[in-house]
Amino acid sequence: MAVLVTGAAGFIGHAVAAALLQRGEAVVGIDEMNGYYPVVLKQARLDRLQRFPRFSFYHQDFSDFAALQRRCASHGIERIVHLGAQAGVRHSLENPAAYVRSNMAGHVSVLELARAVDAVHMVYASSSSVYGGNAQLPFAVGDPVSQPLSLYAASKRSCELMSESYAHLFRLPMTGLRFFTVYGPWGRPDMAVWKFTEALFEGRPLPLYAGGRLRRDFTFIDDIVVGVLAALDRAPADDGREKPGGSRSPHAIYNLGNHRPELVSDLVLAIEAAAGLVAQRETLPMQPGDAEATYADIALTTRDLGWLPQTALAQGIPQFVNWYRQWLANGAAAD
């Protein structure tokens, strides 16, 4: 039996697939390898996974259900980790159709696959963006999430609602994970940690929206992987009891965040310290779709999944900066 991982060439997908393979699982990876950021990075991640003999990969748009079902037919898919999506808050203002296709139609396609194979459990990626402009901190999974600040956030909330309907109608066990600002080696070039590090090494000013006063709950990739696997191994019971997120179907929602919001200006200081360089700073106004702060309440995650993040920003940023130096030096994979 195999685990399907969508978005297997993505940042989190690649890391989760590697962890599954390392513990002896057979993994089927799906990724459309789109050009939202350089495909060379996605291919380098994929090259690392293809060293494992129990890894199979298909270059495929998962929103095409017929093709997805055909690709998976011979693999005995038992569990699904759905991490594929069109990412990025700001990009959703420029290309909303990509979010409708990938995050909404694509999610339905994967739900239909879960139904077709009678999946034991489907874990899927949501986002801290669903909390919108919630002023109550920290964000708890029981908080209202009906006022998204971007189409990206709306698309992720729609994934949660569609999953609830499938869990209710077809009794499919589902777990949604709201990720909080994930960073680390092999990360995404569109995110602040990469963008700031790149600008610092290139001698360009670092763009600080709202003067660096925004707060983010930066969560290291290794901690996220542990959380995803913990969720995958604990399917919610179909027992009629209320789950985190409010469902009485076999559907739970959890926060995966560091439970430690940091000023973006402090992120810059950590990158400077790790790089041994001093950054130029460019103060810019707050951008549409941005929240002023994110902060994860992880009490239910810890209670149910036994998960606690282990990596502070001061520990994680040097690991990213060291990896980034190798990436620049080699122009390709850095282990």
Q: What is the pLDDT of residues 271-297, one digit of tens each?
A: 999 999 999 998 888 777 677 889 999
CA gap 58, 32 in Å, rounded: 8
Confirm whether 295 is a catalytic residue. Answer: no
303-315: pLDDT as tens digits: 999 999 999 999 9
According to the model, what pLDDT value does residue 287 have? Answer: 77
Q: Are strands 206-209 and 182-183 parallel, antiparallel or unpaired?
A: unpaired
CA gap 236, 96 in Å, rounded: 33
100-155: pLDDT as tens digits: 888 999 999 999 999 999 999 999 999 999 998 788 899 999 999 998 888 889 99
In order of their start, the domains of the chain are: 2-180+220-257+295-310 (3.40.50.720)
| The pair of three-digit structure tokens given for residue 11, joined into one six-digit string | 């940042």
CA gap 129, 154 in Å, rounded: 8
Q: What is the pTM of this model?
A: 0.95
Residues in the chain: 335
Residue 335 has pLDDT above 50, yes or no: no
Which residue pairs from 153-156 have beta carbons closer than 8 angstroms and sit at least 24 positions apart in sequence?
Answer: 153/89, 153/127, 153/129, 153/289, 155/85, 155/86, 155/92, 155/99, 155/100, 155/103, 155/104, 156/85, 156/103, 156/125, 156/126, 156/127, 156/129, 156/130
Which of 99, 131, 152, 166 is an active site residue? 152
Could you tell me which of 102, 99, 154 has the C-alpha nearest to residue 127? Answer: 154
Place of tokens 């139904």: 115
